Structure 1
Amino acid sequence: MPSDLAKKKAAKKKEAAKARQRTKKTDELEDEEPETELNGAQSNGIVHLTKELDEFELAKTEARAVTGVLSSHPNSTDVHVSSLSLTFHGQELLADTSLELNSGRRYGLIGLNGTGKSMLLSAIGHREIPIPEHIDIYHLTREMAPSEKTALQCVMEVDEQRIMLEKEAERLAHEDAECEKLMELYERLEELDADKAEVRASRILNGLGFTAAMQRKQLKDFSGGWRMRVALARALFIKPFMLLLDEPTNHLDLDACVWLEEELSSFKRILVLISHSQDFLNGVCTNIIHLHQRKLKYYTGNYDQYIKTREELEENQMKRFNWEQDQITHMKKLKTLATLSFSFHPCGKIPPPVIMVQNVSFKYSDNQPHIYKNLEFGIDLDTRVALVGPNGAGKSTLLKLLMGELLPTDGMIRKNSHVKIGRYHQHLTEQLELDLSPLDYMMKCFPDIKEKEDMRKIIGRYGLTGKQQVSPIRNLSDGQKCRVCFAWLAWQNPHLLFLDEPTNHLDIETIDALGDAINEFEGGTMLVSHDFRLIQQVAQEIWVCENQTITKWNKDILAYKEHLKSKNSHSEPLHHLVSWIRPAGSCDDQQGLRCRKCHY
């Protein structure tokens, strides 16, 4: 007779096979809503996941094992799961802990890279963890697929959601359930009412950067970053009872980050989000969940309050137990290791100017408008600049021009013949050889280092230790893959660092270590980031890329954030720019349409 474990494995394989079949059917019926036999609240959470699953996600679910017991009442709007354990490829990520999510709370899930934050969210989204059926779940995992539907249509397609809510309301009415729950359902149905839907959907898309014209463009004409915004807009429009967001700011510019922070800060149900931005966590969260040493620990308040509470606890425990608490010392050692070891090597001196930009204009083709006109500036080894501005305004394009990956349409960029530039961008992890381990990959990239122990020490400085160094890169978390990229980048020994969204997927401790490393770096840095805190830590100047030009913001980044907030509230236009070059007309690239050569 098969064991319980064998039965569980067989059931999981059967479900995965069904999911593959549903995914295949969805691909064949590209513009139709997928059919499903699932009823009630389950249909919402699972259908969204089914439409978005790929083979890699299926492989992850097959390699995952979850156990837990629902301890809250089946009809409760709170979720309490006890004896929760989660393993992935046999590695224990959670062990005999509890999951406690209460209605009306907005949780920030934090922890070091590779501890299982995204895995936990995925297990909740797939309902591998016992969640009451009346609680619908929306787990935002990836961008909307390209199609001929408009952005506005994709956001408003909520027929399945409306039907599910109507059935649940009917069930509760027959059961003479609590009036409060019924009123909640009626409120959500009213929000999805067709007469009001277009106005709400348009407002959300506008907040995420879509103009009226963009909202009526077909999804196939948008890049992946903009289609991710559509998926995010859909999640905000539906307002599920449980919303799961994994790094929702990764594809947003600073303007959209500020808008999203304001939007999520009023979410009334259950929100669980993973974010590397302390500023964003402070603005949104009412509670913090810290995943540490395979346990979930809960703190009341936003991230700053969590830090204060944890420091008070650590101080009391240090006095009482004289640093014998393993959890405290382990945390301190990890943080010290990250902060002290993460570094960029001395680069030596190069006489200024290192790079001169002289009367440079650029556009991608003759029939397209200019991205930039008549730029004039210089970059030296003491440059510490953050580039800000809306998506599509040309921040990444500027870095590519300076790298030589793009050539100016007019003007000239002069570079010192000895300068070495290290560029980090959000697609760098795609260049990693996933079947190799970090150790083998680095040995292959830098054959001059003959001894593996020497390379182990190098990789260890970036927070990859033990089995992580010899496991296939494909089995690492996104944050751990980024650390491999930083080790690779640092060992290039560059004079200038061009960092394009370097914080995506990194944990907060690593971002702090990165900030310290940039400040200690002898060379120059140009940074594109939506992380206000990192910009505040490292940038000496703020340059705004917008309307075909670059202007200098003469206050700090927090003042720029306040400006974005006031702009979102239709206040007065920008007053604190000191123009370096004459302004030009607007750029169609800001409309978010995908360019054949540009990233987003």
Structure 2
Amino acid sequence: STDVHIINFSLTFHGQEPLSDTKLELNSGRHYGLTGLNGIGKSMLLLLNGKHEVPIPEHIDIYHLTREMPPSDKIPLQVMEIDTEQAMLEREAELLAHEDAECEKLMELCKCLEELDADKAEMRASWILHGLGFTPAMQCKKLKDFSGGWRMPVALARAVFIRPFMLLLDEPTNHLDLDACVWLEEELKTFKCILVLVSHSQDFLNGICTNVIHMHNKKLKYYTGNYNQYVKTRLELEENQMKRFHWEQDQIAHMKNYLARFGHGSAKLARQAQSKEKTLQKMMASGLTERVVSDKTLPFYFPPYSKIPPPVIMVQNVSFKYTKNGPCIYNNLEFGVALVGPNGAGKSTLLKLLSGELLHTDGMIRKHSHVKIGYYYQYLQEQLDLDLSLLEYMMKCYPEIKEKEEMRKIIGQYSHTGKQQVSPIQNLLDGQKCRVCLAWQNSHMLFLHEPTNHLDIETTDALADAINEFESGMMLVSHDFRLIQQVTQEIWVYEKQSPSVLETSWPTRSNSSPSWWMRSPSS
């Protein structure tokens, strides 16, 4: 069989049990969106599936995409490893042919082998890379010369190229610009086997998913339809469940009150009381409807810092080139607030210029002598000391907090409790690491670089609320339109290395352009 059906399914990882006595059901040809709050275990479920530590039949090949390709001397086309993939598929097809010459999996392998003809395969690999934003020149560039934001699409291209029978994607749109996201969505719609993906993009889930799996209270619950249909159906089911819950509780209260009043009255009243008592016992025995437990949304809080007189950061006529003869990334730049747009447009470069990590070629960047900047960077491992415990890391970052118990309370506000606080950070999942970096940013100015890459949709909304309540300045680099539309008001577009107000509507999936945009707050 090419489907996965596991009953009484439980999952344990690093002493945690995210799933207990539930059902795992994945059917061929279905595209599943895996939803649930940050830290509930979505990435853990994909990870253990990818390692075949879940009892999935061995003949189902699984590809789990989690990280960008490591830097090396290989070029993107070489990463596809066409010859290696062809040899592996041939061995697998030979084994299946001996077992069942008519099985669906064997037919799929034969089709893949036909497409792996050397000329066809290289052409298809190049086409996939082009769809993800790689020009012909970039396809011949060594991986070590790419930033992490470009090495992730290379890994994604390989996942799409090899067409496994089960494809597991954890936040595949991270590091992709809008055009690449649209291309990937169209490509994954045609995926004919099992696709399971975790994504913070509502549009992406709506465009691809045929089903949604919701992780909640250590169970997996299945819904038919895309993300919007899941939200609607879940709301309706929960409303009906609460109506049933309240009706049952009213009936129980009424019967208990009757028993208390008439249980020892006249014979007639006593018989009626006994009848109601039997009815109550039957209700209890058959199982009562549970109260709906809403997902606990994680709050964010950026505390106010001591005020300093303006300007906090002043940018005047700044220009920048990476090399003397290279292209001009910025020319006569004035200061902006939120940046989105295609990879390579210079969004990360601007944050590095403002933080002092890069020196500008011309113009002036002046920071207040007492300004404190809080910085969240999208590559979590570069920001965290993974060998420290969460408590040790936070005490090191914020020495002004002397008492461990006070810091424990602060960490607990971000849903890190108990053993998590004293365990090495390397044991945390990406979403949990993200919350560590965003926790307690005590500063005059926030620099947020793709902060929603590992956050779920509900937590993204909570982050937007915290940003809106933050009294000081903020610079946001993001591809997440859901966040940007909540925290900013005015749109700016960069053309020919200089900014101007965008007069048309906010760019969407249908009217995107190769330009990139900046939005500033209403203040």
Give the shorter-chain TM-score range: 0.7 to 0.9
Is 2:274 the counterpart of 1:310?
Answer: no
Pick the aligned partner of 2:376 from 424, 427, 438. 424
Q: 2:316 aligns to what SS in structure 1?
A: strand
2:214 equivalent among 280, 290, 298: 290
Q: Report the secondary structure of 1:371's partner residue.
A: strand
Output the CA distance in 1 between the equivalents of 2:82 and 2:291.
45
Structure 1: segments with no counterpart, 5+ residues: 1-75, 380-384, 568-572, 579-600
Counterpart in 2 of 1:264? 188
Query: How many residues get paired?
Result: 478
1:364/1:209 CA distance change after superposition, 3 Å = same
Q: Is the 8 A contact 1:388 1:542 kept in 2?
A: no
Equivalence for 1:43: none
Is this contact kept in 2: 1:286–1:301, CA < 8 A? yes
Q: Superposition pairs for residues 425-504 of structure 1, below 5 Å?
A: 425-489=377-441, 492=442, 494-504=443-453
Counterpart in 1 of 2:15? 90
Q: 1:583 maps to which residue?
A: none
Cα deviation, 1:2-42, whole Å, max 9, x if unaligned, reads xxxxxxxxxxxxxxxxxxxxxxxxxxxxxxxxxxxxxxxxx
Partner of residue 110 from structure 1, selected from 15, 35, 50? 35
Q: CA RMSD in A?
A: 2.8
Aligned partners of 1:251, 1:520: CA distance in 2, in Å? 27
AA paired with 1:345?
A: P
| Alignment match, 1:403 | 355
Instruction: Please tell me whether residue 372 in structure 1 is matched to residue 325 in structure 2.
Output: no
Other-structure match for 2:477: 528
SS in 2 for 1:199: helix
Counterpart AA for 2:509: K
Which residue is equivalent to 1:321?
A: 245
User: In structure 2, the residue corresponding to 1:436 is in which secondary structure?
Assistant: coil
Matched, 1:241 2:241: no
Aligned residue type for 2:79 = C
Cα pair 1:388 1:545 within 8 Å, conserved: no
Cα separation, 1, equivalents of 2:487 and 2:166: 36
1:362 corresponds in structure 2 to: 320
Cα offset, 1:500, TM superposition:
0.5
Shift of 1:195: 2.9
Is the CA contact 2:387–2:425 (under 8 Å) kept in the aligned structure 1?
yes
Looking at structure 2, the residues matched to 505 and 545 of structure 1 have their Cα atoms a distance apart, in angstroms, of 27
Q: Does 1:99 align with 2:24?
A: yes
**Pairwise CA distance, 1:531:** 1.7
Aligned equivalent of 2:462: 513
Letter in 2 for 1:298: Y
Report what 2:366 is aligned to: 414
- Check whether the contact 2:301–2:440 (CA below 8 A) recurs between aligned residues: no
Question: Pick from 165, 179, 189: which aligns with 1:255?
Answer: 179
SS of the residue corresponding to residue 197 of structure 1 reads helix
Q: Provide closer, same or farther for how the CA distance between residues 342 and 181 of structure 1 changes in structure 2, counting only shifts above 3 A.
A: closer
Matches within 5 A, 1:335-354: 335=297, 338=298, 341-347=299-305, 353-354=311-312
Please give the secondary structure, in 2, of the residue aligned with 1:563: coil
Structure 1 match to 2:511: 563
Does 1:198 pair with 2:150? no
2-side partners of 1:102 and 1:556: how far apart?
A: 41
- Distance in 1, Cα, partners of 2:472 & 2:505: 22
2:511 counterpart SS class: helix
Q: What displacement does 1:488 show?
A: 3.9
Q: Distance in 1 between matches of 2:162 and 2:418?
A: 43
Which residue is 1:59 aligned to? Answer: none
- Residue number in structure 1 paired with 2:278: none
Query: In the TM superposition, what is the alpha-carbon distance from 1:514 to its structure 2 partner?
Result: 0.3
Deviations 1:307-337 (A, max 9, x none): 11221122112222139976732x34x12xx
Could you tell me how far apart the structure 1 residues matched to 2:59 and 2:388 are? 44
Q: 1:484 to 1:131 in 2, by over 3 A?
A: same
Hey, what's the Cα distance between the residues in 2 that align with 1:429 and 1:207? 28
3-state SS, counterpart of residue 250 of structure 1:
coil
Q: 1:351 to 1:325 in 2, by over 3 A?
A: farther
Q: Deviations over 1:174-218 (max 9, x none)?
A: 666447555433332332222322221111101111110111223
- Give runs of aligned pairs for residues 388-399 of structure 1, distance below 5 A: 388-399=340-351
Q: CA separation in 1, counterparts of 2:289 and 2:465? A: 28
Q: Work out whether residues 422 and 496 of structure 1, in 8 Å CA contact, stay in contact via their aligned partners in 2.
A: yes
SS at 1:561 equivalent: coil
- Structure 1 residues 280 and 348, CA, compared in 2 at 3 Å: closer, same or farther? farther
Task: Tell me which of 216, 221, 240 is aligned to 2:145.
Answer: 221
Whether the aligned pair in 2 keeps the contact of 1:551 and 1:577 (CA below 8 Å) is no
User: Once the two structures are superposed, what CA deviation does each residue of 1:71-116 show, in whole Å capped at 9, x if it has no partner?
Assistant: xxxxx12111222222122322222222111111111112222222
Superimposed CA distance per residue, residues 505-525 of structure 1 (whole angstroms, 9 cap, x where no aligned partner):
223332121011112222232
Distance 1:229 1:158 in 2: 18
SS in 1 for 2:435: helix
**Structure 2 unaligned spans of 5+:** 250-287, 519-523
- The verdict on how the C-alpha distance between 1:367 and 1:120 changes in structure 2, with shifts beyond 3 A counting, is same
Distance in 2, matches of 1:79 and 1:254, equals 33
**1:189–1:104 CA distance, 2 compared to 1 (3 A):** same
Question: How big is the shift at 1:346?
Answer: 2.9
Determine if contact 1:544/1:550 at 8 Å carries over to the other structure. yes
Q: Is the 8 A contact 1:442 1:488 kept in 2?
A: no
Contact 1:393-1:547 at 8 Å conserved across structures: no
Q: Deviation at 1:265?
A: 2.3
User: In the TM superposition, what is the alpha-carbon distance from 1:172 to its structure 2 partner?
Assistant: 5.5
- Closer, same or farther in 2 for the Cα pair 1:424/1:544, shift >3 Å? farther
The CA distance in 2 between the partners of 1:235 and 1:366, in whole Å, is: 38
The equivalent residue for 1:386 is 338
For the residue of structure 2 that corresponds to 1:365, the secondary structure is coil
SS, match of residue 221 in structure 2: strand
The range that moved more, 162-171 or 463-472, is 162-171
CA distance in 2: counterparts of 1:270 and 1:551, whole angstroms? 45
- Equivalents in 2 of 1:326, 1:436: separation in Å? 41
- Cα separation, partners in 2 of 1:547 and 1:219, compared to 1, 3 Å: farther
Q: CA deviation at 1:167?
A: 4.7
1:181/1:480 Cα in 2 relative to 1: closer, same or farther (>3 Å)? closer
- Which whole-Å deviations, capped at 9, do the CAs of 1:514-571 have from their partners, x for residues lacking one? 01111222223221112221122222234445654445433454x343223xx6xxxx
Contact 2:494 2:517 in 1 (8 A): no
| Preserved CA contact (<8 Å) 2:492 2:517 | no
C-alpha displacement at 1:164, in angstroms?
Answer: 4.1
- Over 3 Å counting, the alpha-carbon distance change for 1:546 and 1:124 in structure 2 is farther
Structure (1 or 2) with the larger CA radius of gyration: 2
> SS in structure 1 opposite 2:2?
coil
Tell me the TM-score normalized by structure 1: 0.73
